[in-house]
Amino acid sequence: MAIKVLCADDSKQVLVTLARLLSSDPEVEVIGQAEDGEQAVRNVKNFAPDVITLDLKMPKLDGLQALKRIRMISAAPVIMISSFTQPGALAALEALELGAYGFIPKPVSGRMEDMIKMSDELIRLIKEADQAAKQQRHNYPPGIITRNTGYGSADPESKFNGNLSPAVYSQLSTDEIDSFRAIAIGCSSGGPITLLKILPLLPESFPWPIIIVQHMPKYFTAYFAENLDRKCSLRVKEAVSGERARKGCVYLAPGGYHVKVAKAGEELKFVFDGEIDPVFGACPSVDVLMESVAARVGKKAVGILLSGMGMDGVEGLLKMKQAGAVTVVQDRASALIYGMPGRALESGAADQVVCPQDIPNFIYHSARMRALEKKADSSSPTLS
């Protein structure tokens, strides 16, 4: 059965073109259109679409206002269509916080070849969103209420209880700080809202650099970094090629570039590679980052894989584990999409399953455990 799609845009010409391009795929059927936000909300009630596309700039109700109302009446995934402008990018990021599945940039040129290119990506996103929605319905059917009780609420593999006082954040010893040199995080759909559950909890004294690959179009990652920076105690910025990774800073891989780490004396620096093809359709790639962290940092790293569809990051996290790093995935109950973390769990790449709010404590807890293990090893008698 074809995926039923409702499209909303203030331009009738764009709607006609979009409907024709999307319907060229036999797995997609455009069942309704809307030229303003109020009509979009009415048509969601009337047509019960599987997936909804919303333009951000519409009369009567703009995309964000329409999204808020749609979220009250439908669980169908919503994909926002945004311009490359700063207001458009910021609104798209706000839409993710309001529950949108994802967003896609609208071509500035309006040329047909650019519209076709956008529609190809939109079709891929529509199929991904529909698959994710079906997965959620399968995992949590109507009438089944899940309760997030902290670490691993929905996963029997859970072990960490998360019951550490926030006061311990500033009490790490030198040996505990020396346990790690970098934290690598990978995420895709559902990642932005998950990162907002983790990064603002970290104190200004956080003693390691954090390097994040979030699948996001070029130019939008800069605005996402600025948005995170306003909400966090830590400095959050886009990574720059050749820049050294400083402790207590969060670095976001820019869209369109694969990011690796290389040694720079006692520190790490960023190396960009734009020549590598997209990995699992993504650039930047989680695998590329994590494989470089495994090779350059080894056991003194933490690898974290969050919500997202597909396989990117699974092999990278496995290589980090094989190098001795601490590896963790987000729990199923809190993830919008359990593709990447679920596949990593199945492959044996993850040591632990942790809900987002417990990840900061888990990192500190792991540093303490590493320091204790090192102390125990050094004090053990050696056989002559």
Q: Are 4 and 25 in contact (CB under 8 A)?
A: no
Catalytic residue among 119, 188, 292, 366: 188
Structure tokens that stand for 287 in this block:
């695998």
- Output the 3-class SS for the chain: CCEEEEEECCCHHHHHHHHHHHCCCCCEEEEEEECCHHHHHHHHHHHCCCEEEEECCCCCCCHHHHHHHHHHHCCCCEEEEECCCHHHHHHHHHHHHCCCCEEEECCCCCCHHHHHHHHHHHHHHHHHHHHHHHHHHHHCCCCCCCCCCCCCCCCCCCCCCCCCCHHHHHCCCHHHHCCCCEEEEEECCCHHHHHHHHHHHCCCCCCCCEEEEECCCCCHHHHHHHHHHHHCCCEEEECCCCCEECCCEEEECCCCCEEEEEEECCEEEEEEECCCCCECCECCCHHHHHHHHHHHCCCCEEEEECCECCCCCHHHHHHHHHCCCEEEEECHHHCCCEHHHHHHHHHCCCCEEECHHHHHHHHHHHHHHHHHHHHHHHHCCCCC
- 215 classed as catalytic: yes
Catalytic residue among 36, 119, 215, 292: 215
Catalytic residue among 10, 50, 312, 351: 312
Q: State in Å, rounded, how far the first CA of the chain is from the last one.
A: 71
- 331 classed as catalytic: no
Structure tokens that stand for 30 in this block:
């455009």
In this structure, which amino acid lies at residue 190?
G
Quick one: how far is CA 263 from the chain centroid? 26
Residue with tokens 């969050």: 306
Catalytic residues: 188, 215, 312
